[in-house]
Amino acid sequence: MVSEQVYWLWYPGDFEIHQGMLQNFTREERGFDWPAYWYMDDCHRNVSFKKTYELTAPTTFKVHAKGQGYVLVNEHKAPFETEITLQPGTTTIEVFVGHPSGLPCVYIDSDVIKTTADWQASNFLETHPVGFSARYTQLLQDPNQVYYQHQQYQPAVVEVVNGGVLYDFKRAINGVVQVRLTDIAAVTLCYGESKTEALDVEMCYYKQEAVTETTPVRKRAFRYLFVPNVMPEQVAITADHEYFAYPKRAQFNSDDQLMNRIWQVSETTFKLCSNLFFTDGIKRDRWIWSGDAYQCYLINQYLMFDEDINRRTLLALRGQNDLKQHLNTIVDYSLLWLIGVENHYIMSADRDFVASIYGKMESMMGLFETQIDQNGFVYGREKDWIFIDWSEFDHQGPLGAEQILLWKAYEAMIICGEAIGVDVSAYRARQATLKTAIMHYFWSDKQHAFIDSYESGREHVTRHVNIFAILFDFVDVKTQRQLAKTVLLNDAITQITTPYFKFFEADALCKVGFLDQVYGIIRDYWGGMLEHDAVTFWEEYNPADQGAEHYAMYGDPYGKSLCHAWGASPIYLLGRYFMGLRPTKPGYATFELAPQLDYFKQLDCHLPVKDGEVQLKVANGQLTVSANRDGGTIILNGQATQMKQNEVYQFDLKANA
């Protein structure tokens, strides 16, 4: 039975594509705007919406739309915003909407005629089920606008310094500053994620001069605000913080107080970077990056379990079906997009979404087919970026890490295709052929590892290709552990320096059982940032840096983001490996809890699953586990216990020590 919930309707994917385009125009740098430097799609400008009703009695309705157009009822035209009367019988309603500068959308909420999710939308080339969102269900809303929650904050600390006033909000703000002035006409606002940045009047990343009480002030991210050449009684500052409210689905408390604090700051960091889409940072870089988003899908699964933000981000990144360029210009980011769709399906079992986007997955794979050599290896073309990471790879010829990603992308096509009944035999054959070629050309018996590239003959080994081989089960468990020892735990292999790929490395180490090392890394790396008074986690942290060096990146003294989405990765690592929670069938139809409890004498952890949550408690040598849905299995000391909904299971940890 179709839900009677009324929505604003649009052509599927258009809302996300349009708002994603606008999001990628929000970046500001040192007084100028910086639109994203890749090709960006926008929504269709002219669409139609259609539904047929079988009416048993007369009824009336009125069409509301954003854009211009008309209503067609049984071949009779009528304008928007006028009452239309229908007689009993078969009635087809079609609404034509054009919007030259925004998203065409439609809304009807009458006694019988309603814009529900079972309408069809057409761009006059293809017809599909409509797009809609639970965030847009009211007539007074406009899907061309994004609606944020607002919270007013006053500075926590006001300090006279350097002939001006420094305001510390003791938290990250992402919003608009409001000023009230006394005996002064205008002020300069110097923003900073750090105190050092805010006080640097010449070089702070964001600065606005000649600000009066009525000057429009742009939305910016900061913790500190410095107003030079004033006294405290002359200026009153309020910050209007904008955010998206996501339900609290997870919590973590243990006897390790540092780890508790790391979880809390990770949660704050991640939610700040989770608005309409996953963006990697709130200050400097507000673009939507596919590689960053891929990691966000994993963190989201263990914190918010919000399926909508996954879908919105995937749709915004992909754009319209006619693909002209790799996502963010990066070949591996296109591959991670495909793998991200698979991860979303395993998390959610959302076959409808997979069915709606599978055509775009196929056209993405079609792009790869234009840049595959005789061995089945993907290579970069002019204007393509083979990125993987900031590292010294042997780039002579195809790159090994890229081929493992391609192999995994074929698997994503297979899993998602099978979920919706599509023939995937061609992808299965390509995957098998590719694996044979990778093992022949990229596996080195001499190095006992995968190499970057084979054409040079150098047999150069970096961590990246070997990490992907572990993470994506390209090799068996025995070989995975071998790679961990010969590469990941080998100090002779060049270390990874970016937090982006440290995420993958920690994931791989946990996967093969080296939890001690990762637990220590979490405490040292993220704990190190907390020692520097971090209220959110940074894009990068180097313990050897001193003073202002901590804030420099990309050749800019304050170019580093101090609130970066991948900084929240401890949530994923703790939930996935230390709590041991993972789905074993899509949508958690079955799932596994294999907690590693040597690290906690006391623990109270709640983690989300599809349509429910699991709870783990440790106290007085007892483990207590429960879940409010069926399908779970507890794995403890090699023993499996099947769980039933809402039943409580207790285990004596002392007896099993």
Model pLDDT, residue 573: 98
We find that the CATH architecture of domain 319-504 is Alpha/alpha barrel (1.50)
CB-CB contact of 110 with 61 (8 Å): yes
pLDDT digits (tens, 9 = 90+) for 322-353: 999 999 999 999 999 999 999 999 999 999 99
Helices (H), 377-485: 400-419, 425-442, 463-471, 477-483
Indicate the pLDDT class of residue 2, thresholds 50, 70 and 90. Answer: low
The stretch 577-588 carries a mean pLDDT of 98
CATH topology classification for 14-129: Jelly Rolls (2.60.120)
CB-CB contact of 529 with 539 (8 Å): no
The stretch 530-550 carries a mean pLDDT of 96
The stretch 606-625 carries a mean pLDDT of 97
DSSP state of 321: S
Q: Is the pLDDT of residue 657 over 70?
A: no
pLDDT digits (tens, 9 = 90+) for 376-429: 999 999 999 999 999 999 999 999 999 999 999 999 999 999 999 999 999 999
The side-by-side arrangement of strands in the sheet containing 127-129 is 76-78, 68-73, 89-98, 46-55, 120-122, 127-129
Return mean pLDDT, the chain.
96
Q: Is the pLDDT of residue 614 over 60?
A: yes
We find that the CATH architecture of domain 149-243 is Sandwich (2.60)
Q: Is the pLDDT of residue 484 over 50?
A: yes
Q: Is the pLDDT of residue 29 over 70?
A: yes
pLDDT digits (tens, 9 = 90+) for 38-63: 999 999 999 999 999 999 999 999 99
CATH topology classification for 581-652: Maltose phosphorylase, domain 3 (2.60.420)
Q: CB burial class (10 A; 0-12, 13-18, 19+) of residue 28?
A: middle
* Residues β-bridged to residue 168: 157, 224
Tokens of 217: 């002030």
pLDDT digits (tens, 9 = 90+) for 496-533: 988 899 999 999 999 999 999 999 999 999 999 999 99
Q: Residue 171: name the closest of 154, 150, 158, 189 by CA.
A: 154
Give the DSSP letter string of 128-180: EEPB--TT--STT--TTS---EEEEE--SEEEEETTEEEEEEEEEEEEEEEEE
What are the residue boundaries of the structural domains of the chain, listed by start? 14-129, 149-243, 248-292+514-578, 319-504, 581-652
Indicate the pLDDT class of residue 654, thresholds 50, 70 and 90. Answer: confident
CB-CB contact of 605 with 597 (8 Å): no
Burial string for 389-418 (b: 16+ CB within 10 Å, else e) reads: bebebbeeebbbbbbbbbbbbbbbbbbbbe
Indicate the pLDDT class of residue 214, thresholds 50, 70 and 90. Answer: very high
Model pLDDT, residue 75: 87
Residue 570 phi, psi (nearest 5): -55, -30
Distance separating alpha carbons of residues 265 and 263, to the nearest angstrom: 6
Give me the residue label for tokens 């009324």.
Answer: 6
The stretch 120-133 carries a mean pLDDT of 97
Model pLDDT, residue 68: 98
Model pLDDT, residue 285: 86
> Quick check: do 14-129 and 149-243 share a fold?
yes
Tokens of 16: 């996300």
Model pLDDT, residue 499: 87
Whether the predicted model's global pTM rises above the 0.75 cut: yes
The stretch 581-601 carries a mean pLDDT of 97
> Residue 457: CA atoms inside 13 Å, Cβ hemisphere, count?
0
Tokens of 633: 């299995």
Model pLDDT, residue 1: 42
pLDDT digits (tens, 9 = 90+) for 562-577: 999 999 999 999 999 9
